[in-house]
Structure 1
Amino acid sequence: MSGGGTGIGRAIAARLAADGNRVVILGRREAVLEEARARIEETVGPGRIVPVPADLTDPEAVEAAAARIAVLGPVDVLVNNAGAIVTPPAGDGLAALADAWRKDLDANLLTAVLLTTALQGRLRRPGGRLVVISSAAAQRGGAGPHSAGSYAAAKAALHGWAFGLARQLGPDGVTVNVLAPGYVADTEIFGAGWSEEFHAGKVADTLVGRAGTPADVAEAVGFLASPSAGYLTGQVIGLNGGAVLGR
């Protein structure tokens, strides 16, 4: 899975490893991946987590990572979780705006496209599971005061791409679903730099009166990755405490 070193990604990796899976975690920062491996394996035991550092916006790095993963055998579950809200444009001109948008598209869309394409032939057939982590921002627009809209647009682009993959891979017995979390505390996206008022507003926006947790997302992914979810494909599943109602 991509983005497996922190927050939601680490929780998903721990959940899948607890089910007995060997989990490859990918990310840019090797030290962060190693720390995640050590912490997860304190609970699940040694040998369950395989860190593979890679910049998933770089095609050559993705190809190298895919080659390392290939020696482990077929891919039962691929979770595309890598993503970030990129710093706002460093200036007022169109060039600065274009640069910021390209960075957001690279971080949130291209990472998933490149990794999935590199591993698509390795997905187990039948029975493979492809899970794409999007965001409630893709359904409602915006992502807070630091966003110029590029984050929401990049996450929304994942939906149409995933629908096409669901049609393509369904006949092979591979499911493709999008999970769109809302406000999830204890993550890098909703970390430093956001005011207490912003956090309180996000909680007030839910119907259940609390923030989501990485464990909430991990449990949902655990189901989507399971044999029980074999008839569920081509869907965008909102996990947002009711902040965005079903559509």
Structure 2
Amino acid sequence: MSFKKITEQDSNYDHLEKMNTKELLTNINNEDKKVSDAVQEVIPQIENLVDKILLKLKGGGRLFYMGAGTSGRLGILDASECPPTFGVSPDIVVGIIAGGDKAIRDAVEFAEDSINQGWEDLKGYQISEKDVVIGIAASGTTPYVIGALKSCNDNNILTASISCNPNSPLSNTAKYPIDVIVGPEFVTGSSRMKAGTAQKLILNMISTATMIKLGHVKGNKMVDMQLSNDKLVARGLKMIMSELNIQETEAKKLLLEHGSVRKAIESYAHQ
């Protein structure tokens, strides 16, 4: 099977500059509707990967996301939301982007072209066989990510990938590849659009399913979330009141005393 960059193929639409605003938005939305179906097609691969990640994290390992540009930023976004949402240490899910923190906001020229730098960046985290590394690249050709995964394979570290082209160099490097085929972009080659949306959906699925299976959700509530602002404190109070069938005054007292929804509920249950 030959490798074709579907992400670089011509858009299904032309003369975009001649479309009115409604036409532009409607056509973008029509393309976006295809993303969910494409993700549904790869649920078996995502399921297999989540089960592997779960075993590694239960054994004291960590989950690393690696990417460049949009893909790197999406990994960092998902990783950064795990501590406030699920109350886990920021060391458990880590996002790494080619070019370092500066690249989160500004493009760092040629950062993604180094075949060796990705592995060097991982070594800064004392990467080991306990860990999992997911390479993210819409094209599936980013040297920074491919090089990192090759070195991980050489060191018996579990590797996975998320790409939007079938049979890509990245997919052929990862032990657990996920190829989500969303088709050409509305603006030719602009993989921050459908490809980026698909990657974000899959990252959400991976981290959320993993954290639920690690026990950080009770019922359907984020009982381990960090109470870092008034909105989240209010949400925590509602959870406690609903779970324990108590009034707000008592719920607030429990929350202040224990500092987390889970601990508040558990302490009440043991009274």
Instruction: Compute the TM-score of the two structures, normalised by the length of structure 1.
Output: 0.40
Q: Which structure's relative contact order is higher, taking Cα pairs within 8 Å and 6+ residues apart?
A: 2
Which has the greater radius of gyration?
Answer: 2
Quick check: which one's helix share is greater? 2
